[in-house]
Each structure stands twice: as C-alpha cells, then as structure tokens.
Amino acid sequence: MNKIEGVILDWAGTAVDFGCFAPVNVFVDIFNHAGIEVTMEEARGPMGMLKIDHIRAMLSMPRVSALWEDKYGRSFNEQDVEQLYAEFEPALMASLSEYTDPIPGVIQTVEALRAEGLKFGSTTGYTSSMMEVVVSNAREKGYSPDYVVTPDDTHSLGRPYPYMIYRNMEQLKLSASWKVVKVGDTTSDVKEGVQAGVWSVGVVIGSSEMGLNQEEYDSLSDSEKEAAISKTKQTFMQHGADFTINTMSELPQLIESINGMLAEGKKPGCAK
C-alpha cells in the first residue's frame, strides 16, 4: 500500500531543545578560548552536522579562517580541529541534560501518528555518548522514538550523507525511501533527507535555523513572527525541502497530504 510507514526525526531543535541552544553556546565559547570571536550566526551555520565536522566547517568560513590566520600566523590544520573538539565535547556533556525538554506538540504528535501505525526513527549530529544523556533525559520527560542512530553508527559519515536514515529504515523495516518522511530544523537535515530520497521536511518554530529561544519567539509581534517564519521556510526550500511546517503539530495533516500524493503516484522531489 502506498502510504507513509515511518518518520525520522532530528533531535535538538526538532524534538527537544527549542531553538537548539545546547551546542551553539559551546561552539561560541571554545572559539573564544582560542582567541577567535565568532557570531551566533557562524556558530549555527553548519548545525546538524557531526560536531567535529561542524568545527571544521566553521574554521573553513572565510571570515573565521582569516581571523585564525591573523592570530596564529598560519592556516588552521587538523590538529587545531581536534584540539577544539577535545574542548567542545566535555563542555557540551556538562550542560547537555539541561537541554532535553521536548518541544511543545512533539509528544502528542508522535502519539497520534503511532496510533495510526507509523514508526519513529531518529538521526542526530551528536555522538553516541552525547545521545545517552539526551535519550535518557527525554525519555523521562515523555519522548522516546523507536530507534536512534548517530554518526558513530555510520563510520562518522554524518549529515548530509544519507546513511543514518538508511540505518533507521533497515532497523524499522521501512519498505521504501518514498514511504519515509524526514523532519529536521537545519539545512543539513534537509539535505540528509533529499540525499536519502525520502520526503524532506523543515520544521520552523523552535528551529536552529530560526535561532530563537521560546521566550524570544513569544515576545515577537505577529508581523515579526511572520517575517521570521517566512525567512526560515525560504531557506529550507532553497536547500531542497519538499515541505515546511511551522510546528510538529502540523505533521499529521502533512502526512495525510503526502499519502494523497503517493496515491497519485508522486514521489519525493515532485512537490518543489
């Protein structure tokens, strides 16, 4: 039967940690310690990637790269990447449990779709040891997908490679990529979905791409909210998303629409 069988959710910024703040603050801190002042925008740019890849991507940004050369008199090298990562991991681990609250609407949405027989997998830019903290804390707060895959399970080939999605599909026995929906809050999530050949969906409110915490978002005027939502949606679509949703609460309705498209023989990529 041509229907969606499973959903693969990202973690921070999608299922838990509204605004995806746990890693961002640590990226800013470790670069500051190295004498390089990075912006929040630069720290968020590669979000969703395996964290050591994220550091490498930040160092490769022209402005950051130039600052590094000014300070150290040379280009960054792999040893610099590893040194920054060695500082990043324990700093993140120390605060990670504080950033595991499920985003509003996620638990109810997962329960509703599970009641219809859908399975829930997950992918992340966190390592397995980081995810032990996130998974156990999120479970206590009511959120627990059926399966968790990290880049450690795919030989460190994280996003935008599609392999974490394929591992989920294998474990959950999902029969075809076009019967799978991937939901995430970063451009690397979107690319992961596109490259896996699944329906790729960007979730907007609470996303790393929008970059606001709950309080900041709630304090916006209606027109400011509309502008922030529109800008974030545009970014996701430019990177290949099939669809965007404002919140996870809209996912059941979207899946219903996708099922209608599948009945007409349409596949991922046709909505763009």
Residues making up the annotated binding site for Mg(2+) are: 10, 12, 185
Give dist(CA 238, CA 217) in Å, integer.
Answer: 23
**Nearest in space to 205 (alpha carbons), one of 231, 182, 179, 241:** 231
* Binding positions: 10, 12, 185
* Phi-psi group of 7: left, alpha or beta (phi > 0 → left; psi -120 to 50 → alpha; rest → beta): beta
7, 129, 158, 149 alpha-carbon torsion, rounded to 10°: -30
Handedness of CA 245, 250, 252, 255 (dihedral sign): negative
SS3 209: coil
The answer to whether residue 10 is catalytic is yes
Q: Which tokens hold the place of 229?
A: 């939502």
Q: Which of 51, 119, 179, 233 is catalytic?
A: 51
Q: Are 197 and 181 in contact (CB under 8 A)?
A: no
The answer to whether residue 218 is catalytic is no
Please list the active-site residues. Answer: 10, 51
